Chain A
Amino acid sequence: MTRDSAAPEVRIRDLTVVYKTPAGELPAVSGVSLTLNPGTITGVVGESGSGKSTLALSLLNAVQPPGRIAAGSVEIDGLGDVLHLGGEDLRRTRGRKVGYVFQAAQSSLNPLKTIGKQLLDLGRSHDVDDLRALVADAKALLARMGLDGARVLDSHQHELSGGMRQRVGIMLALVLNAQVVVLDEPTTALDMITQATILRIIREVHEERALTTLVITHDVGAVAEVADDLAVMYGGRVVEHGPITEVLGTPRHPYTQGLIRAIPRLSGDISLARALPGRPPTLGTLPVAGCVFRERCDKRMEICETVEPETVTHDGRTVACHAVGRPAPVKRREYA
Chain B
Amino acid sequence: MTKAVRDRPRGTALARRVTGHVVRGLVMIWVVATISFVIIREIPGDPVQGMYESLLQKGMSPDQAERATAVLYGFLPTGSLWDQYVGYMWSLLHFDLGRSLSTPGVAVTSLIGSAARWTVLPVLAGTLLSFLLGVIMGVYAAIKRSGKLGDLLALSGSLLHGIPVYVIGLLLTAIFTTLWPILPSGGPVDVAFVPGLNAGYIGSLIHHAVLPVVTYTLASYGGWILAMKSNVVAVLGDDFILAAELRGLKRGIVFRYLARNAILPLFTILALSIGMLFGGSIFIEEIFNYPGLGLLLVNSISTRDYALMGGTFLVITVGIVVANIVADLLYTAIDPRVRSGEAA
A109 on the interface (CB 8 Å rule)?
Answer: yes
Do residues B240 and A158 form an inter-chain contact, with CB atoms below 8 A? no
Q: Find chain A residues with CB under 8 A from B249 CB.
A: 95, 121-122, 125
Q: Which residues of B contact A264 (CB under 8 A)?
A: none
- In chain B, what residue has the closest Cβ to A109? B240
Residues of B within 8 A of A154 (CB): 3
- In the assembled complex, which residues on chain A have CB atoms less than 8 Å from the CB atom of B245? 62, 94
B342 at the interface (CB under 8 A from A): yes
Interface string of B251-291 (1 = CB under 8 A from A): 10100010011001000000000000000000000000000
1/0 per residue, CB under 8 A from A, across B228-261: the answer is 0000000000111011111111110100010011
State the CA gap A150–B3 with chains docked (Å).
10
Chain B residues in 8 Å Cβ range of A151: 2
- The yes or no answer to B335 lying at the interface (CB within 8 A) is yes
Q: In whole angstroms, what is the CA distance A121 to B246 when docked?
A: 13
Question: In the bound complex, what is the Cα–Cα distance between A96 and B249 (angstroms)?
Answer: 10
Stretch at the interface among A99-107, A139-147, A245-253: A99-107
Inter-subunit contact B239/A159 (CB<8 Å): no
Bound-state CA distance A28–B205 (Å) is 64
In the complex, what residues of A have CB within 8 A of residue B246's CB?
Answer: 60, 62, 94-95, 100, 102
CB distance from A148 to the nearest CB of B (A): 8
Q: How far is the CB of A213 from chain B (nearest CB, A)?
A: 16
- B337 at the A/B interface (Cβ < 8 Å)? yes
Residue among A96, A109, A125 with most chain B CB within 10 A: A125
The count of chain B contact residues (Cβ–Cβ below 8 Å) is 26
Complex-state Cα separation, A125 to B335, whole angstroms: 24
Question: Bound complex: CA of A93 vs CA of B264, how far in Å?
Answer: 32
**B336 interfacial contact with A, CB 8 Å:** yes
Name the prevailing secondary structure of the B interface residues.
helix
Residues of A with C-beta under 8 A to B264: 112
Query: Is B340's beta carbon under 8 Å from chain A?
Result: yes
Which residues of chain A have C-beta atoms less than 8 A from B260's C-beta? 112
Contact residues in B for A161 (Cβ distance below 8 Å): none
Report which residue of B243, B251, B335 has the largest number of chain A beta carbons within 10 angstroms of its beta carbon.
B243
Instruction: Give the residue among B248, B334, B337, B342 with the most A Cβ atoms within 10 A.
Output: B248
Q: Which residue of A lies closest to B256 (CB)?
A: A121
Contact A125 B253 (CB under 8 A): yes
Interface size on A, residues (CB 8 A): 36
Within 8 A of B (CB), among A101-141: 102-105, 107-114, 121-122, 124-126
Is A92 part of the binding interface, using a Cβ–Cβ cutoff of 8 Å?
yes
Give the docked Cα–Cα distance between A100 and B261 (Å): 23
- Which of chain B's residues have a CB closer than 8 A to the CB of A124? 250, 253
A92 touches B248 (CB 8 A): yes
CB-contacts of B29-76 with A (<8 A): none
Give CA–CA (A159, B243) in the complex, Å.
Answer: 19
Bound-state Cα–Cα, A110 to B260, Å: 10
Q: When the two chains form their complex, are residues B342 and A158 in contact, meaning their CB atoms are under 8 A apart?
A: yes
Residues of B within 8 Å of A62, CB to CB, are 242, 245-246
Q: How far is the CB of A230 from chain B (nearest CB, A)?
A: 24
CA distance A31 to B2 in the complex (A): 54
In the complex the two chains form, is A156's CB within 8 Å of B2's CB? no
Q: Which residues of B contact A113 (CB under 8 A)?
A: 257
- Give the residues in chain B near A60, CB-CB below 8 Å: 246
A108 to B246, CA, bound (A): 10
A104 to B243 Cα, complex, angstroms: 9
Within 8 A of B (CB), among A58-115: 60, 62, 64, 91-96, 100, 102-105, 107-114
In angstroms, how far is the closest chain B Cβ from the Cβ of A89?
11
Point out the residues of chain B lying under 8 angstroms from A122, CB to CB.
247-249
Is A94 a contact partner of B247 (Cβ separation < 8 A)? yes
Residues of B within 8 A of A95 (CB): 246-249
Report A150 CB to chain B, min CB distance, Å: 8
Smallest CB-CB A-B distances: 8 pairs: A95-B248, A108-B243, A94-B248, A95-B247, A100-B246, A107-B239, A125-B250, A156-B336
- B-side residues, CB < 8 A to A, are 2-3, 238-240, 242-251, 253, 257, 260-261, 264, 334-337, 340, 342
What is A's interface to B at a CB cutoff of 8 Å? 60, 62, 64, 91-96, 100, 102-105, 107-114, 121-122, 124-126, 150-151, 154, 156, 158-159, 169, 172-173
